[in-house]
Structure 1
Amino acid sequence: MKVIILAGGSGTRLWPLSRTNYPKQFLKLKGMDKSIFQTSFKRCLKITDSNQIFIVTNKEYRFLALGQIEELGYKFNEKNILIEPSGKNTLPAIYYAVKEIQKNGDDISVVFPSDHLIEDEKAFVETILSGVNFANDYIITYGIKPSKPHTGYGYIKPQSAIGQGYRVDKFKEKPNLETAESYINKGYFWNSGMFMFRTDIFTEEVKRYCPEVFMSFQENDIEKTYEITPNISIDYGIMEQSQRVAVVPMNVKWTDLGSFDAFYDQFAKDENNNVVFDGDILIDSTNNLLYTDKDKAVAIVGVNDLIIVDEKDALLICKKDQSQKVKEVVDKLKKLKDSKVDYHLTTYRPWGSYTILEEGLFYKIKRISVLPGKKLSYQLHHHRSEHWIVVKGTAKVTVEGKDFLVRSGESTFVQTGYKHRLENPGKVLLEVIEVQLGEYLEEDDIVRINDDFGRC
């Protein structure tokens, strides 16, 4: 059995926690020792081994995925990370993985988004594997038994029973509250976005109901494929049209972390139904979600039904029933070309991370953290010089081909236009304060000459 993990989404409805360059699936939320992606990957290992897992993502998230798998203690086959040239929704992403799987013959495959939180994993695995009985005849989707009316999820209307599942009558879009209540009364399921199928059957249905996707993948060049393939979801392209679709009920606590509504539902509440972390103070306030920067004392008084997300560089306040509109905030920030839609103050790289501590018109101060045994690219900048102060560990610095060590408490200077590299030769985390000086300090002023991660 093969597993396909979809890990390319940017999670716009969870801004400012989730941002384009570090989206929700890779976040380690408060109270969680693993990211959502790591939790999903570990869950998949209860179904198959790591060599049978395919991850579909984009080039920006490739090293995030690899790094987080490595952090779990696993060595992952990089060939099983499939890079989409552009986001074209779920059907092309899934079919991309299907085509890769078919290079070694047809097999039963199961598809999981990487942003689901699931309790009772034993029951989850048992339910997933129960779908194998139907996969020779049907494309299986898994329907979550609703715990309450929810306006943030799509719904599935079951038809006649077949064994442990049902034929699917209809898929329903996200409803209003009244409609959601009626769906639950009629025995509908939440649409989980999880699927199981034989790759040959899935291919037949793609060819029959979405020939544009089928034909685009006849190209041998994935770049050309993604230029011509339509932007379409698996629900629109296949599930709502095919006559070979069945739903298997799943009775577990499940959250598709697609909005702050779902976020609120996931976490424990205080006596006034507030979700709060880190000892923030709430007085005469109910039904709120308060998620704040760890170093900031926050108090709210006399407010109800609010979502408050406070990061160092961004603040979101909205009514709980308006959380689906957070995407509109992201759209406006994109129009304004505001980098806060894409970047946190901390940016993760395959070698470690950097955090912007302060910036002004002609300077920027960063904290750079380099993992043991990792090194930045050998590079140069046209518009800035850099002053490095080592605060933890020992740095190996290369400037214009000459190597030297810089120890804790020592510093060095790299002139504009000089080729240079920072490396951590030790076994502990290297931390460096970098002061950039120049008239242009953006990240695109990097000319990579050599790079361990193929980014030249």
Structure 2
Amino acid sequence: MINVILCGGSGTRLWPLSRTMLPKQFVRLFDGHSLFQDTLIRNQSVCNHSFIVSNTEQFFLAADQLSQVASLKADFLLEPIGRNTAPAIALACLALEQDDVVLVTTSDHLVKDQKAYEEAVIKAKALAEENNLVTFGIRPTYPETGFGYIEASDQDVLSFKEKPDVDSAKLYLEKGNYFWNSGMFCFKAGVFLKELERLSPEVYQASVEAINLACEEDYSLDSRVFKVGLDAMQNIPEDSIDYAVMEKSDIVKVVPCDMGWSDLGSFDALYDEVKASFDDNAVLPRLNNSPEPICVDAKNNLLVTRDRQIALIDVEELLVVDTSDAILISKRGSSQKVKQVVAEIKKSAPELAEVHRLAHRPWGTYEVLVDSEQYKVKRIVVKPGSKLSLQKHFHRNEHWIVVSGTATVTVNEERFLVRANESTYIQMGQLHRLENEGKIDLVMIEVQVGEYTGEDDIVRVEDVYGR
């Protein structure tokens, strides 16, 4: 069985912890692993291969986190833009053998009961081998209005329900034959494609054309990487698997299960999972040895801390999320409104919605230390054997100071080395590139000076990562 992992999504409901360039599936929330890595590990016991569908911007982040999970391998299909789950799954199935049984999972859900999960997958696989489309229904524990529901009679699906109002959700809970729609599926690749062709022929045909035009990229990784072209992707109608196939098909089965599942779709959901008490508050495991929160007569709050000291006095039922460049404070129960905050952030300070101060790139990371009018200071780390694009800027000059390692620097036609405690200067408009040909990380400080220091003042002339 092949695990098709859907790895798109921006996770805006968990801003500022999750952002476009580091969405929630890649954030290390529990036990030092990301949800994406947990998904890979969880499914290796039931699947013999993973096939990851990712957008091009997040591919190298996914590949990097995959490499950190020992002995696991996977292939990739890269989408230049997202067209929802039906095209993503169709493209993956078209790249596989038609008799392959696929287990479709998201990359950003939490499953706490591995044994119950494996038992549910085994049941789903048996039904899939009988040429059914199988979905997983989570037994509801409260009247949730943020999920879709599945109405079932034993293993037969009677109907799919949209996200209900509170009264309807309570009624579903009372009836007992309604389940939360988990967004997980199991079927033969060919069976799904036949149903897609029958029920949503436009999505099917455009997906076939897109996969026929896809090319295999060589990124010198221990993975096969298939890349779909932008024009072909744009021609595929945008639709979810539920609307395109599942709600219309007459061969759908459901496996009811209780496996400690959560979609972690909001900070309220995160509170429910973190609950381990620290002075009666839920504290997300701290990173970077940040100080323990101080709580004086404060309880039932969620605290997500990083570097700063956080102190709460006489407050209850709050969500406090602290990152290096943004703080979110909300009442518990109101975190679904975070999407409204992100919409406003995109208008006033779009970079805050896109990237953290510590940003991950295919070649390494950069961290913004100071961002002021007419200058910016960054700490840049380039991995061994990696290099940035050959590029130039129109609005800024750059000063590079090497802290450790050795930098190979290209400026126009000149190529030279800059060692620790040495520096160089890149003038506005000069074509330049930074490389690390050594065996250890290259660490340097970059000082940008100019009228504009935004990340979009980059003209790439050559890039090994295809950006």
Q: Structure 2 length as normaliser, TM-score?
A: 0.88
What corresponds to 2:366 in structure 1?
354
2:184 corresponds, among 190, 194, 199, to: 194
Residue by residue over 1:262-302, the C-alpha shift from the partner in whole angstroms, topping out at 9 and shown as x without a partner, is 2111213316652124411222223211112x221111122
My pick for the range that moved more, 396-405 or 364-373, is 396-405
Alignment check: 8 A CA contact 1:284 1:301 kept: yes
Which residue number corresponds to residue 32 of structure 2?
33
Q: Is residue 396 of structure 2 the alignment partner of residue 407 of structure 1?
A: no
Q: C-alpha displacement at 1:314, in angstroms?
A: 1.5
Moved more, 414-423 or 240-249: 414-423
| 8 Å Cα contact 1:283-1:302 kept in structure 2 | yes
Aligned pair partner of 2:123 in 112, 130, 133: 130
Gaps of 5+ in 1: none
Pair 1:350–1:74, CA change in 2 (3 A): farther
1:220-231 residue pairs with structure 2 within 5 A? 220-221=212-213, 222-231=229-238
Q: Which amino acid counterpart does residue 106 of structure 1 have in structure 2? A: D
Q: Deviations over 1:325-366 (max 9, x none)?
A: 211222222344622111211111011010111122211100
| Residues 308-330 of structure 1: per-residue CA shift (max 9 Å, x gap) | 11222222122221111211222
Separation of aligned partners in 2, 1:284 and 1:146: 33
Q: Judging changes above 3 Å, is the alpha-carbon distance between structure 1 residues 46 and 75 closer, same or farther for their aligned structure 2 residues? A: closer
Deviates more, 1:177-186 or 1:123-132: 177-186
Q: Check whether the contact 2:307–2:324 (CA below 8 A) recurs between aligned residues.
A: no
* Corresponding residue for residue 142 of structure 1: 136
Residues 152 and 261, structure 1, Cα contact 8 Å, conserved in 2: no
Q: Mapping of 1:318-337 within 5 angstroms?
A: 318-336=330-348
Which one is further off, 304-313 or 1-10? 304-313
Structure 2 counterparts to residues 44-443 of structure 1, below 5 A: 44-49=43-48, 52-73=49-70, 76=73, 80-101=75-96, 104-135=97-128, 136-159=130-153, 161=154, 166-187=155-176, 188-219=178-209, 220-221=212-213, 222-270=229-277, 273-277=280-284, 278=286, 279-292=292-305, 294-336=306-348, 338-443=350-455
Larger mean CA deviation between 247-256 and 346-355 belongs to: 247-256
What does the per-residue CA deviation read over 1:210-263, in whole Å, with 9 as the maximum and x for residues that have no partner? Answer: 222123224244544432332221112222221111111222111112111221
Q: Tell me the alpha carbon deviations over residues 3-48 of structure 1, each in whole angstroms, 9 at most, x when there is no partner.
A: 211011111111111111211111112x431111111122232223
The 1:64/1:329 distance shift into structure 2, 3 A limit, reads same
Distance 1:47 1:409 in 2: 51
> C-alpha offsets along residues 152-208 of structure 1, whole Å, 9 cap, x if unaligned?
32222211x2xxxx1112222333444434323322222111000112221222122
Deviation at 1:114, TM superposition (A): 0.3
- Which amino acid is the alignment partner of residue 234 of structure 1? I
- Distance in structure 1 (CA, Å) of the matches to 2:298 and 2:280: 9
Separation (CA, whole Å) in 2 of partners of 1:261 and 1:117: 14
Q: Which deviations, in whole Å up to 9, do the C-alpha atoms of 1:125-144 show, x marking residues without a partner? A: 23212212111231101112
In structure 1, distance between residues paired with 2:325 and 2:100: 47
Unaligned runs of 5+ in 2: 214-228, 287-291
Distance 2:78 2:450 in 1: 35
Query: What does residue 23 of structure 1 align with?
Result: 23
Using a 3 Å threshold, how does the CA distance of structure 1 residues 189 and 430 change in structure 2: closer, same or farther? Answer: same
1:40-76 C-alpha deviation (Å, 9 max, x unpaired) = 1222322233xx3221121111111111112224575
Q: How many residues align?
A: 442
1:157 to 1:126, Cα distance in 2 relative to 1, 3 A:
same
Give the SS at the match of 1:217.
Answer: helix
Kept in 2: contact 1:152–1:259 (CA 8 A)? no
Query: In the aligned structure 2, how far is the partner of 1:272 from the partner of 1:185?
Result: 36
Secondary structure in structure 2 of the residue aligned to 1:290 = strand
Q: Is the 8 A contact 1:352 1:370 kept in 2?
A: yes
TM superposition score normalised by structure 1? 0.90
Contact 2:389 2:461 in 1 (8 A): yes
- Relative to structure 1, the CA distance from residue 337 to residue 276 in structure 2 (aligned partners, 3 Å threshold; closer, same or farther) is closer
